[in-house]
Structure 1
Amino acid sequence: MTYRIKIGLLAATSLLIGATTPAKPLHLATLAKVAQVDERYQSYNIEMVEVTGGRFWAPYGGPADERYRQRPPLDLTNPRLIAFARNLGPAYMRVSGTWSNNTYLPAAGETVTAPPPGFKQVLQRRQWQTVVAFSKAVDAPLVTSFAVSTGVRGADGRWQPTQAQRLVDLTNELGGTLAAAEMFNEPNMPSLAQPMPPTYNAADYGADFRIFRDWARKAVPGMRLLGTGAAGEATMMKDPPAALGPQIASADILAANPNSLDALSYHFYGTVSQRCAAQNIGVARKDEALSSAWLDRTLIDYAYYAHLRDTYEPGKPIWNTETAQAACGGSPWAATFLDSFRYLNQLGALAQKGVQVVMHNTLATSDYALLDRDTMTARPNYWAAVLWHRVMGRVVLAAPSSPSPRLRLYAQCLRGVSGGVGVMALNTGTTAQTLPIGGALQAWVMRGATVDAGTITVNGQTPAMEANGTLTGLAPAKVQGRVTVPGQAIAFIAAPHADNPACR
């Protein structure tokens, strides 16, 4: 075993110090600070329907027209799932999603076997207990949204906080933390929260939000108010299909109650998976996965919501509270190394813009998940997330100059090392690229046997998790002076002696 590991590291080292022509030095010591992100910047979602059980995105391979499939609740007591999540902490865990809009929580002692009128799902109290226990075990305070369907509305049609208060009380009783919340998941598409008042509009949302805001400030003063939590208004939902019903613009929502939020939140998906091809939005294309148009699409929605923030909530931070490769559960290739370029590029690009939190959807269910729920094994994006977590600190630096448009470089202060710099290199091209950095370095190179492989290696080793929750196969290669990033590979580089003053 020891012999094989040593050979693997030697092979990785020879790969890293290959003989391609070096680019200009990166000058890590002089990179300026451009932003600082939340310590829980990289976070994740567990959809409410994963907690309750219900009809979620169907695995591929079934009937051609199958969009949803009944799934049992995710076992949040699974020690392996807990260990995987713990290795991503500290993080935030958002429990929300479309299904949260119409989920009923029974009162203490109330027995409910079917959703009451005005609701579609039931969240049993014992299920929320497992959510809170999981949250505490993995150092991931909760972010959520609340029911808004007709079941929580009074005779006047206005939102009432009875269900929200019940969730808050139960969370407090269990010793949990509600760090932040949106009132409504994706309010730009109110038809997805059925049953809803048929003519629900921005004025209705504005009136509801005033009730929500005033209740939350008193009932949960430590919970940050996020909004609008809308999805894709500059890209995917710019021209929404009629089948999704009337839309409400975030601009109209925010104009009704300016300066009311603690942070502006939004959701981003590049487009939809083939499960939702019938909506005629356009599906994610595998042959475009490494293109600039696809990788930079996240910045279009960021700019749209940043403008709204500047107009209606000036000076407030921005959170991306739900994002993944494609809506509707992700494409089949969302579970492969090919999507790791998008996953990491989005983290790097949004950090450069000062976005405070990015919450991947989901941790463990459907094709876009970090983990395979059925086998409880890690997908490439999970290992990408672990390396980001280990290398990239909170202080964001100006991006180093790249020798090629196909090589995307991002830099942040090295986690846990004063003066050190961490570099992430995404080589979307087929030609190896050499980065002269100088000094003693550590490097982790992620590769797939093919770029769309479902598994990866790091420095020639296959990462895994042992029974005790320890991650293996992630040892860095020690490199002197320069790092070569193979074609269609990803590298993380630690320069502990960079001596960048912004990192001290």
Structure 2
Amino acid sequence: MGGGVLKSEDLLHETGPVFDVFSYHLYAATSQRCASIGASSQTNAAAALSQDWLARPEKIGTFYADLRDRFEPGKSLWITETADAACGGNPWAPTFLDTFRYLVQHASLAQRGVKVIMHNTLASSDYGLLDENTFAPRPNYWAALLWRRLMGATVLDPHPSPIPNVYVYAHCLQNHPGGVTLLVINADRQRVHEITLPSDAERYTLTAKQLQETSVQLNGKTLQLNRDGDMPQFLGQSTRAGHISFAPTSITFLEIANADNSNCH
């Protein structure tokens, strides 16, 4: 065989529609460990909340969804390996700064029909969900736990946010017929933003004192395992319907149990 790169399109063309699932790996950049690959594959912490960076996973997903539609129509989309950057992740991968990408990626790709996301790794290198030496949960682990507890499999249309750097997503509430969860991500480093909440809700807001910290607060209280290594209680903050605000660089899940959404019954 000759040299060169084997393109996904060529591989799919030769194999034909024989697969049960269409899967791909997703890394929007390479880490500093692989700087020798070239500057075009790199990113930096200053860009971690930029619209361009947060949009990259969805753009990559669109490319692969098009290949799926052409060569494996109707098959489910799975991401079988992903993290912030290939080659072990960047130094800010274990910090709250990467949690914005982590959740925007989950939510935007769920909107596009991705059914499964497998994170790389559980406890190894910078992008591990747990510290590889202490096994202490990192911010993305806590975000994944809240996602699992609150965001059901049915994806709803919340209508795109008209505000730059604010991302709004909606799913049926996990294990609660009729309920809805809103995910509001304020990636703006300076500005407070508001939305109108139609019903009372339980609020779960993630913040950090410094973006590049490996600890994270839930409604102002640091999340950590107890002395026995057990999970803390995840207590929401009761929030009345009406105008509610979202601090700069904050991530909020709103659990609306009494939404009575017809798509969630």
The equivalent residue for 2:255 is 494
Q: Secondary structure at the match of 1:377?
A: coil
Following TM superposition, the consecutive aligned residue runs of length 4 or more in structure 1 with deviations greater than 3 angstroms are: 467-470
**Is 1:294 the equivalent of 2:78?**
no
**2: distance between equivalents of 1:439 and 1:255?**
50
Q: Deviations over 1:419-441 (max 9, x none)?
A: 11001111011211222113321
Letter in 2 for 1:399: P
**2: distance between equivalents of 1:403 and 1:450?**
27
The equivalent residue for 1:399 is 158
**2: distance between equivalents of 1:383 and 1:407?**
21
**Is 1:477 the equivalent of 2:237?**
yes
The equivalent residue for 1:333 is 92
CA distance 1:275–1:468, shift in 2 (3 Å)? same
The equivalent residue for 1:370 is 129
Mapping for residues 232-243 of structure 1, pairs under 5 Å: none
Letter in 2 for 1:440: D
Q: Deviations over 1:52-75 (max 9, x none)?
A: xxxxxxxxxxxxxxxxxxxxxxxx
Larger Rg: 1
**2: distance between equivalents of 1:384 and 1:246?**
40
Mapping for residues 343-492 of structure 1, pairs under 5 Å: 343-402=102-161, 404-429=163-188, 430-472=190-232, 474-482=234-242, 483-492=244-253
> Residue 122 of structure 2 contacts residue 128 of structure 2 at CA under 8 Å; is this kept in 1?
yes
Q: Secondary structure at the match of 1:350?
A: helix
Mapping for residues 14-29 of structure 1, pairs under 5 Å: none
The equivalent residue for 1:252 is 10
Aligned residues: 262
Letter in 2 for 1:478: S
Q: CA deviation at 1:473?
A: 5.2
Q: More displaced, 394-403 or 304-313?
A: 394-403
Q: Secondary structure at the match of 2:222?
A: coil
Letter in 1 for 2:170: A
Q: Secondary structure at the match of 2:255?
A: strand
The equivalent residue for 1:272 is 30
Q: More displaced, 494-503 or 277-286?
A: 277-286
**1: distance between equivalents of 2:194 and 2:60?**
32
The structure richer in helix per residue is 1
- TM-score under structure 1 normalisation? 0.51
Q: CA deviation at 1:469?
A: 4.9
**1: distance between equivalents of 2:70 and 2:60?**
16
CA distance 1:419–1:285, shift in 2 (3 Å)? same
Letter in 1 for 2:210: T
RMSD after superposition: 1.5
Q: Deviations over 1:149-190 (max 9, x none)?
A: xxxxxxxxxxxxxxxxxxxxxxxxxxxxxxxxxxxxxxxxxx
> Residue 84 of structure 2 contacts residue 98 of structure 2 at CA under 8 Å; is this kept in 1?
yes
**1: distance between equivalents of 2:27 and 2:86?**
6
Q: Deviations over 1:299-354 (max 9, x none)?
A: 22111111111111111111111111000000100111000000000000000001
**2: distance between equivalents of 1:337 and 1:298?**
18
Q: Deviations over 1:94-116 (max 9, x none)?
A: xxxxxxxxxxxxxxxxxxxxxxx
> Residue 78 of structure 2 contacts residue 117 of structure 2 at CA under 8 Å; is this kept in 1?
yes
> Residue 98 of structure 2 contacts residue 140 of structure 2 at CA under 8 Å; is this kept in 1?
yes
Mapping for residues 293-332 of structure 1, pairs under 5 Å: 293-332=52-91
**2: distance between equivalents of 1:350 and 1:312?**
20
Q: CA deviation at 1:481?
A: 0.9
Letter in 1 for 2:86: A
Q: CA deviation at 1:401?
A: 4.5
Q: CA deviation at 1:400?
A: 3.6
**2: distance between equivalents of 1:371 and 1:390?**
19
Letter in 2 for 1:464: Q
Identical counterparts, % of pairs: 40
**1: distance between equivalents of 2:207 and 2:17?**
46
Unpaired stretches in structure 1, ≥5 consecutive residues: 1-198, 202-244
Q: Secondary structure at the match of 2:211?
A: coil
Letter in 2 for 1:441: A
Letter in 2 for 1:267: H
The equivalent residue for 1:111 is none
